[in-house]
Amino acid sequence: MRKLEQLGFDNTFARLPDIFHSRLHPTPLPDPYLVSFNTNAAPLIDLDSAETQRADFAEYFSGNRLLPGCEPLAMLYAGHQFGHYVPQLGDGRAVLLGEIKNSAGEYWDIQLKGAGRTPYSRNGDGRAVLRSSIREYLCSEAMHGLGIPTTRALCIVGSDHRVYRETAETAAVVTRIAPSHVRFGSFEVFFYRGQNQLLAMLADYVIAKHFPPLMDAPDKYSRFLDEVVTRTATLMARWQAVGFSHGVMNTDNMSILGLTFDYGPFGFMENYDPGYICNHSDPAGRYAYNQQPQIGLWNLACLAQALTPVIAMEDAEAALQNYGPAYAKHYTELMGQKLGLAHASKEDDTLINTLLEMMHTSQADYTNLFRGLGNFNSAPGEKNTALRDQFIDRTAFDAWSESYRARLQREQGSDEERKIRMDKVNPKYILRNHLAQTAINKAEQGRDFSEVDRLLKLLQDPFSEQPGMEDYAATPPEWARHITVSCSS
């Protein structure tokens, strides 16, 4: 493992022409201190966790000091925000320090989110607040624990420096780690400017670095789009299966690698509601839970359009046509696994959809209901009372359970074996809003970061029964109904 001075920077994005980015140093953050450090993410960049004991650690990860070898910059991009094209966005409060090449030969971007104003900040102050930093830090690790592609977070550095959102809050910087921060909007900005040579240069850069087998293919750009379509379809299916809502699926928040990206007003659905809106700033529900798969395709269409200078229109359309089947296949497989079905069958869609309809009517807790299904007793005549009592219409549940029982019996496996499989895909713990809010309250009110660390550890292993942590899997208390998150979150 390496000390801070030994991290191996190889900054490939910084070697692109200056039009792709703006070089600048982070804005110093007064009196920074370490809030939390993610020991599970440190090996990605070969960082020795003992380095957190250094007196100057927070100075480096607040941006006050620069790590040897980094070349800080803010990335240029554009994007469609709530369906409307914005011609220039870019990193308005994030600074990419550079790319670390680890001992396995992997490249990881190191980005400070909340590092101050950049040329793309518009009217913003370039800062992140402690509240939003804690939410991103915890959720990126929660998603990783759930097996969903995501950016990671190395640490949070805080400060007593005051910034203003709806009220005065303290500033913080979260260190984000990702294979790349290139997004759909990175291509859109050059398409709408008519800068086709730069568009092709960016595509060649991304393909060479992240899809090298395609580089020598004569149809490399269309095959690249195919890859992005498949990865995005798979990501949407995974979000839906776990009940996750992103909240702001603008094209500038869509990763070219199919990662969960740019955490803001996200939410894990609690009571099952297909129209669940996690973002208070989205009253029309453009990015509601049940709209996410379609928005994924809409965003891909924007990317496909941006690539038309290097891809024939018919090839772009053909790539988009693959999205629906890829999404449906993966979603059906995931939901089948959540029901403990080892083999797919034609009637599985009906079984899944009927259950979801009953859950909606009964406002059943999405995570806890599926976790509880692992205890379903498939013996003839068994009432499964604990499950049955979660539904308003017990008769409907009885009818569904008979169909489910018959389906399980055709697989000829034991209930014990099925439960083991189901507990590996149905989490016990998710980052419920009230859990995050409790950690935020403690952090803001007394610099007590113990709950942040406790949640981080819990969410890194969401499928295991963790003794003494039962309350973290409980349905939300009454006060949690009043929590709202918005684009400022």
Output phi, psi for 41, to 5 deg: -90, -25
Report the 10 Å Cβ neighbour count for 31: 11
d(CA 315, CA 220): 11
DSSP at 150: B
H helical segments located in 111-246? 130-145, 184-192, 196-210, 220-242
Cα–Cα distances (Å) from 97 to 100, 118, 202, in that order, read: 9, 13, 19
Report the 10 Å Cβ neighbour count for 335: 22
Give the chain's count of helices (H) and strands (E): 15, 12
Q: Assign 166 to helix, strand or coil.
A: coil
Residue in 112, 108, 111 with CA at minimum distance from that of residue 100: 108
Q: Assign 76 to helix, strand or coil.
A: coil
d(CA 214, CA 222): 10
d(CA 431, CA 405): 31
Point out the catalytic residue in the list 46, 109, 226, 252: 252
Beta-sheet pairing, 168-178 with 152-164: antiparallel
DSSP string across 250-271: -GGG-BTT--B---SS-EE--B
d(CA 79, CA 187): 9
DSSP string across 266-332: -EE--B--TT---BTT-TT-TT-GGGHHHHHHHHHHHHHHHTTTTS-HHHHHHHHHTHHHHHHHHHH
Buried b (16+ CB within 10 A) or exposed e, 382-397: eebeebeebbeeeeeb
d(CA 74, CA 91): 5
Report the 10 Å Cβ neighbour count for 398: 13
- Confirm whether 471 is a catalytic residue: no
DSSP at 426: S
Active site residues: 252
